[in-house]
Structure 1
Amino acid sequence: MTPEATRPSAGQARRPSTLPKRVAAPSGSLYRMIWRWHFYAGILVAPTLLVVTITGALYIFRSEIENLAHADLRFVAPAGERAGAQAQVDAAVEAFPGRPPASIELPADPGRSSVVRLGEGRGALAVHVDPFRARPLGAIDPDRPGWTEAFFTTVLKIHRELLAGWPGRLVVELTVGWTILLLATGLYLWWPRRGGGPAGVWWARFRAKPYTVLRDLHTVLGFYLLAPVAVIAVSGLFYCLVWGEAFHRATRGRPEASGGGTPSTSAAVRGDPDPTPMPALSLDRIEALARARYPDRNLFITLPEPGSRTFSLSAGNDYDNSYGPFVSARFELDRRDGRMVSHSTLAEDERYWWHGWAYPLHVGSVLGPTTKVIWLVACLVLAAMPVTGLWMWWIRRPAGRAGFPRRPDRPVPRGLVAAIAALSLLLPVVGASILLILTGEAIVGVVRRALARQSPAPA
């Protein structure tokens, strides 16, 4: 063909090509091995990952939704000085007689109501009281919860255990572990290589064919949200059944958790009833002493039994809406003189010292609304990943065949074997599943070879 034949005719504008350049995927055996594991890991966790991410996304804004649903109970208009804790307890008891007062929660935020709990245990009635007017605003009965309480209780139960008890918790832990493996293999598959441009790596090619658009959305969004998804997954391990218990056993006895707070006195001094009469400080005085020590934290005061020598208290920041870690301290004050009897912080707790950082990192409250929105987007994108992955496989599968990736002929590199072994040690549930998969694959291979030997040779 001559140059004249390819030159545009007069009046015909020369248009730059808008078609994306296709860069062939690397053909190395390592790339195919990792892509194969990525594919099968996605199929393995797709159903559960969809459930866990959707329920997690719903739970992120639980406190905001409950605040909207119960705004008349939770929020007040500040006016003058706050009433004492005793006056608020008395107002709650008068409004809802028949149940003994058990505790009172006094928020640091002047725009929030106090909560007096009447009755014991999980069946206690939560009475919201205006702290400035000592006026009950209403109550939430756990035996007849509102739609928000019932909804989020169910959402959390699905998120943690799929409504299946400890077997469900194992399945969720398996999903979390394989998700971490998906992130690692996905990062390797995304990694820019020679011969490829920025399109499809740093941004999606929306004018390309459907498969290319799906592939770009899958990889590009996955890369940009890799960090928050990794934080969500790793922090979720602390609440898993096997990994959480193993982590507790591995860190038991660390110096920071061996009783760094004020040592507790004997049980007789701390809380057992004293048969001899004694003068006791009022609840308002105990509140003042605790507030002087923790002016910017929410106070939770457990009302003592008659004759008990101590008040049990805790002080912490807002559990769901604080910036940074959740901090909490538990302490006891002597009823006679307000002396500190014992004191410990969450960071000193032998079992749950990690909770102060793990929870806000997991639910996205660590930097307030900003990270909550990012975490919400990350959950939704993570939920879409199995969908786009399976969609791509469906589009590209050969006619009449499943199109699953075959096992490479070359042996697995030692580095990859070492990485899988290390991952199996760090994530024991994933390690057990990998062992089962490899065992099943070996059995299938033996059966196939046996059948091939028994089949008659072609004439």
Structure 2
Amino acid sequence: MSTITAAGPAEDAASGVSLYRAIWRWHFFAGLLVIPFMLNLAVTGSLYLFKEEINNSVFGYRYIVQPAGQALPAEQVAEIAAAAVPGSTATSYKDPAGPERSAIVTVASDAGATLVFVNPYDGKVLDVVGSTDEFNYVVKRIHSLAFFGGTTNRLIEITGGFAMVLVVTGIYLWWPRRQTGGVVSVRGTPGRRVFWRDLHAVTGAFAGVLIFFLAITGMPWSGYWGANANAWLTEHGLGYPVQLWDDVPKSLKVTEDILPKSGWIIEKAPVPLSDIARAQSAKPIGLDKAVEIARRLGMAPGFDMAIPSDETGVYTASRFPDDLADERTIHIDQYSGKPLIDIGFNQYPFLGKMIEWGINVHQGQEWGRFNQSLMLATCLAIVLSCVTGVIMWWKRRPAGRLGVPPMPPKRSVYYGLWVITTIFAVAFPMSGLAIVAMIAFDQIVVRFVPVLKRVLA
């Protein structure tokens, strides 16, 4: 009996050490792989939070105008914009959000899409910039790494999953275990490793929930998970309300194909067709009338108006403001002026509303300056976590070796972790598969290749 009693605590202690080491090893590998990507997300995300402020200051010359009498009709502004880019046609018109704002027209030509900024009072062209060259668009594309291609965009999706793993494993490693420091306080001085360890742990512990929030609310934009999640929600009646499209003919285009900006829930919703029969006997109502109809239906200033590209197309007015309650999209028949689809935020299913709300908070738009400051603080916490993690590793790294945390004494502890990984892989396939590959490399390749085992020790 005494032998059994003595073995129990010893076995529990060994299991605790094994679990701690396994999670520490996971945390190390995940951080090692994604630190460069996390830094990119934090820096570009911080810039994008203040896109309006950047537009109003750095690029104020093309966004801000002096009111001077009656504004020109939308159709005339669109014609001026098209004339500024030879061989182009206007594809969308952005209604000025206020009396001191310019009108923005997107035109298409053989060279691609171009944004033309026009003073709505005197018709002066303020600037012409390629739609893919606009500053905030470039920042957003670098943020997602889509700027460098589809493959790199997948890396950001994997990074989002790893960020969640880092938060959960980091909280486990931070959790108080009878230590007197490193929980809410930082010990030592910058010359000691414990200072950087505590600063890393305390930063992660206090910002962990917000970092996790940013990671999971960023997933809807990811190439694989986001597209499949949107399709699954729509298929199960949890995305955009498909019944609104039951009585209207639909084109092969989706909302994001015709608008400069669309909400995540409806970006894959089909664009309806105008009454083709009327195309033989009626004339299009024109952009001016379409804008008038949108305003009459309650569209607040600042909405985008997609212009039909052929005889079956529709005028589509959309607005995605900071206040989600005002998010709205209206498809208008180009001959009769009849609203074919009119959908607002209040018509989204509950889950759709939650996703749109998460995206809004992610972008710092939900609670004004407080929201921006909160997300900026989270981005700075990510930068601090990355920097302190690297310094902490560098200080404990043995000469000539990577300094990977030791493998757990009891390898059986991985059985439970494999189950957790499998569940995670089902929820986030790209990230899950990357974690499976990471663990397989660690448990199979490293164990049986002496050189790697020595370098990674």
User: Greater shift after overlay, 122-131 or 67-76?
Assistant: 122-131
What corresponds to 2:50 in structure 1?
A: 61
- Scaled by the length of structure 1, the TM-score of the pair is 0.75
Answer yes or no: is the 8 Å Cα contact 1:238–1:358 preserved in 2.
no
Query: SS of the counterpart of 2:317?
Result: strand
Q: In structure 2, what is the Cα distance between the partners aligned to 1:168 and 1:176?
A: 13
The amino acid that maps onto 1:378 is T
Question: Is 2:342 aligned against 1:343?
Answer: yes
Structure 2 gap ranges (5+): 1-14, 251-271
Residue 112 of structure 1 corresponds to: 101
1:442 equivalent in structure 2: 444
- 1:143-172, Cα deviation, whole Å (9 max, x unpaired): 895xxx2x5554444332375423212322
- Letter in structure 2 aligned against 1:445: R
Distance 2:85 2:414 in 1: 70
Q: Is the 8 A contact 2:24 2:169 kept in 1?
A: yes
Check conservation: 1:298, 1:317, Cα contact below 8 A: no
2:128 alignment counterpart:
140
CA shift for structure 1 position 218:
0.7
- Once residues 220 and 158 of structure 1 are traced to their aligned partners in structure 2, the CA distance between those partners, rounded to angstroms, is 29
Distance 1:310 1:251 in 2: 27
Query: Contact between 1:262 and 1:344, CA under 8 Å: does it hold in 2?
Result: no
Letter in 2 for 1:138: L
Q: Which residue of 2 aligns with 1:32?
A: 21
How far apart are the structure 2 equivalents of 1:366 and 1:249?
26
Aligned equivalents of 1:436 and 1:262: distance in 2?
43
Number of aligned residues: 410
The equivalent position to 2:152 in structure 1, one of 168, 181, 184, is 168
Structure with higher helix content: 2
> 1:85/1:182 Cα in 2 relative to 1: closer, same or farther (>3 Å)?
same
Structure 1 distance, partners of 2:360, 2:41, is: 18
Alpha-carbon distance, 1:253 to partner = 1.3
Give the letter for the 2:294 counterpart: A
Structure 1 counterpart of 2:203:
221
Give distance in 2, aligned partners of 1:211 and 1:360: 39
Q: CA deviation at 1:234?
A: 0.8
Paired residue type of 2:198: D
CA distance in structure 1 between the aligned counterparts of 2:131 and 2:395, rounded to whole angstroms: 51
Residue 340 (structure 1) shift: 2.1
Q: Deviations over 1:261-295 (max 9, x none)?
A: 36453479715485644366464443222112124
Matches for 1:6-17 after TM superposition, within 5 Å: none
**Which protein shows a greater Rg?**
1
Deviation at 1:343, TM superposition (A): 3.3
Measure, in 2, the Cα distance between the counterparts of 1:373 and 1:328.
27
1:300 and 2:304 are equivalent in the alignment = yes
1:184–1:112 distance in 2 versus 1, CA, 3 Å: same
Q: Which residue of 2 aligns with 1:200?
A: 182
CA distance in 2, matches of 1:107, 1:427: 40
The counterpart of 1:316, out of the listed 309, 319, 330, is 319
Question: How far, CA to CA, are the matches of 1:345 and 1:219 in structure 2?
Answer: 43
The SS at the match of 2:300 is: coil
Shift of 1:240: 2.1
Summarize the Cα distance change of 1:201–1:297 in structure 2 as closer, same or farther, 3 Å threshold: farther
- CA deviation string 1:32-91 (max 9, x = no partner): 222222122212222333333333333332342233233122123445654433454455
Amino acid at match of 1:53: A
CA drift of 1:310 comes to 7.0
Identity %: 27
Counterpart-to-counterpart distance in 2, 1:304 and 1:417:
53
Gaps of 5+ in 1: 1-25, 452-459
Q: Larger deviation: 352-361 or 179-188? A: 352-361
Q: Which moved more, 1:156-165 or 1:224-233?
A: 156-165
